[in-house]
Chains A and B, each alone.
Chain A
Amino acid sequence: MDLSFNNRDPVYLQVVRYFKEQIAIGDLTAGQEISSRRELAGLLKINPNTAQKAYKEMEEQGLITTERNFPSRITTDEKILNAVREELILEAVSSFIASVRPIKVPLDELIKMVSEKYSQPGE
């Protein structure tokens, strides 16, 4: 797993974010079993206590469920899974808007450019 962390945001939140991305792109699906905390620490090369904290946060957000003595799983709650996807898309759209707004491009011109670019492969 190749994931580089930045040093200024809490690592456990970056891990949660990574899981959300995996859910949004469909690499992690409803009910799928996930690595143990210890395995995750090894895979992502992070402190095991940080991995533990990330799992606790994901449990609190309802992203994963853990039953005693069983591996954790991605939730089967479609509402939560759809919300994750929506959250990430909205976030990306907001940051896109924030970066083009200062250029003051007319909306219909912008939408035209977006739809042209979007259909080009590899973009």
Chain B
Amino acid sequence: MIEVKNLTKKFGRRRVLENVSFTAEKGQITCLIGINGVGKTTTLKAIMGLTPYKSGTILIDNEPISKQVYEKITFIPDAAIMPPSMTIGEALVFMQDFYSNWNNERALELLKFFNLKEEFRIAELSKGNTAKVNLLMGLAIDVDYILMDEPFSGIDIFSREQIANVFTSHLIEDRGVIITTHEINDIEHLIDKVILLDNGSVLKEFYTEEMRSQEGKSVIDVMREVYRA
């Protein structure tokens, strides 16, 4: 489980995160939603130890981040992560050399799943294919937790569908996934848990199926209530 407790961060005098607390379980897909402004990406970066924070605690399987803990988790940003001059095939070789926990069998399975070819050059990929390559690079590392920044943002509908299909397939296995998004429409059925953020604070945390069972509300219904309040 990833536990974020009272995370607070400021850029100068501007408050970026204010007492952000939530948990994300292994084997579940947790979605950080914010319709505007900062907070989502910063939270992921804080979990990864990529940005300093003023106060708060972040625990991964009950332990603060360390080299060993770091090997359990990977972060997939929303921009291209591999050098643009590389082909996908070269990027795979690079990753295999770099990561001891790289799973090449899964990488090749994902390549096929996404209809990507090893000879495609990173610089020439569409936004949708860039997102797929990023996801591939993240999923091919054997880790327990995957943090993904806006995997569905700004890409075509077919790429969205293909990426969504990964979340329902065996490729995701029992990993814990945290994704950020500002748009929930076609992924409501994929996610276990929702954290609604606004202006750096958590407004609500809930399980989607519980919300449907107990209150008969969709995620969008809850977002309307919370963000328009």
The A interface, classified by DSSP as helix, strand, loop or mixed, is helix
Partner of B189, one of A42, A46, A53: A46
Asked if B125 CB lies within 8 Å of chain A CBs, one says no
User: Quick one: CB contact mask for A64-106 with B, threshold 8 Å, 1 for yes?
Assistant: 0000000000000000000000000000000000000000000
Number of residues in B with C-beta < 8 Å to the partner? 24
Determine if A47 and B212 form an interchain contact, defined as CB atoms under 8 angstroms apart: no
- The docked-state distance in angstroms from the alpha carbon of A11 to that of B192 is 11
Given A8-B212, A10-B209, residue A45 in contact with residue B165 (CB < 8 A)? yes
- List B contacts of A5 (CB < 8 A): 189
Asked if A109 CB lies within 8 Å of chain B CBs, one says no
- List B contacts of A9 (CB < 8 A): 212, 216
- List A contacts of B168 (CB < 8 A): 41-42, 44-48
- The docked-state distance in angstroms from the alpha carbon of A44 to that of B165 is 10
Determine if B209 and A7 form an interchain contact, defined as CB atoms under 8 angstroms apart: no
Residue of A12, A42, A45 ringed by the most chain B CB atoms within 10 A: A45
Determine if B209 and A8 form an interchain contact, defined as CB atoms under 8 angstroms apart: no
Determine if B212 and A11 form an interchain contact, defined as CB atoms under 8 angstroms apart: yes
Determine if A49 and B28 form an interchain contact, defined as CB atoms under 8 angstroms apart: yes
Asked if A38 CB lies within 8 Å of chain B CBs, one says yes
Partner of A53, one of B165, B172, B209: B209
Asked if A50 CB lies within 8 Å of chain B CBs, one says yes
Asked if B27 CB lies within 8 Å of chain A CBs, one says yes
B interface, CB within 8 angstroms of A: 27-29, 164-165, 167-170, 172, 188-192, 209, 212-213, 216-221
Q: List 16 A-B contacts (CB under 8 A).
A: A5-B189, A7-B189, A7-B212, A7-B220, A8-B217, A8-B218, A8-B221, A38-B169, A41-B169, A42-B169, A45-B164, A46-B190, A47-B167, A48-B172, A49-B28, A49-B192
If A42-B168, A45-B164, A53-B209 are given as contacts, then 13 extra A-B residue pairs at C-beta distance below 8 Å, sorted by A number, are A7-B212, A8-B221, A10-B209, A10-B212, A11-B189, A11-B212, A42-B165, A42-B170, A45-B165, A46-B190, A47-B189, A49-B28, A49-B192
- A-B pairs with the 3 shortest C-beta distances? A7-B218, A10-B212, A41-B168
